[in-house]
């Protein structure tokens, strides 16, 4: 599926806020790194390095590209590019809930990713499997373990207050 630039621009604009929030979560809540990752993703998409084939929803596909780009970036690759002026990152409001973020960071990475995609970004478990490029059974396991671990952590937090 070869997409016209105008349609691609429209889809990127519509998913921009969610894409930034997912990039931020993939970068362990580091806003600056998330901006760099998202800039790289947009250039990959715009230049045709990442091809949307229509096999999944656009947002599901984009989240997968963001995740893999964040992994590349976190491995130390310096991928700095300029964002298009139409999608300014500086003006985007992100509410920092430090306690929630710290709690989520206590979960293993895969459990955290699954829970964020399901509860925060409202993806189905099947979509999460596509985004993370793992089997549906693994997603279900991480989902259940993540919920159990989060419940355990929340119970500990309540007891300490």
For 7-39, what is each residue's pLDDT tens digit? 888 999 999 999 999 999 999 888 999 999 999
**What per-residue confidence (pLDDT) applies to 76?**
56
In whole angstroms, how far apart are CA 98 and each of 29, 101, 102, 105? Answer: 10, 5, 6, 10
For 119-144, what is each residue's pLDDT tens digit? 889 999 999 999 999 999 999 999 99
**What per-residue confidence (pLDDT) applies to 118?**
93
Query: What is the spatial distance between Cα 1 and Cα 50, in angstroms, rounded to a whole number?
Result: 12
For 80-127, what is each residue's pLDDT tens digit? 333 344 444 444 444 456 677 888 889 999 999 999 999 889 999 999
pTM of the model: 0.66
The span from the first CA to the last CA of the chain, in angstroms, equals 54
Query: What is the spatial distance between Cα 90 and Cα 67, in angstroms, rounded to a whole number?
Result: 21
More confident residue, 121 or 157: 121
Angle at alpha carbon of residue 57, lines to 75 and 96, rounded to 5°: 55
Chain-centroid distance of CA 69 in Å reads 10
Task: Work out the pLDDT band at 158, boundaries 50, 70, 90.
Answer: low
User: What sign results for the dihedral spanned by CA atoms 140, 145, 146, 151?
Assistant: positive
For 47-66, what is each residue's pLDDT tens digit? 889 988 888 899 999 999 99
Domains in the chain, CATH or no CATH each: 1-93 (1.10.1740), 95-161 (1.10.10.10)
């Amino acid at each position: 599926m070869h997409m016209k630039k105008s349609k691609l621009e429209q889809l990127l604009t519509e998913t921009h806020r969610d894409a930034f929030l997912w990039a931020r979560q993939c970068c362990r809540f580091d806003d600056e790194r998330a901006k760099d990752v998202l800039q790289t993703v947009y250039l990959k998409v715009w230049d045709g390095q990442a091809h949307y084939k229509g096999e999944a929803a656009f947002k599901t596909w984009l989240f997968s590209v963001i995740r893999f780009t964040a992994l590349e970036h976190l491995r130390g690759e310096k991928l700095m590019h300029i964002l298009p002026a139409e999608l300014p990152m500086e003006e985007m409001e992100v509410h920092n809930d430090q306690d929630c973020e710290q709690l989520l960071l206590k979960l293993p990475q895969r459990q955290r990713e699954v829970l964020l995609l399901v509860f925060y970004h409202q993806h189905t478990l099947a979509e999460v499997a596509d985004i993370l490029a793992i089997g549906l059974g693994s997603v279900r396991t991480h989902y259940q373990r993540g919920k159990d671990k989060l419940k355990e952590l929340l119970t500990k937090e309540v007891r300490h207050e």
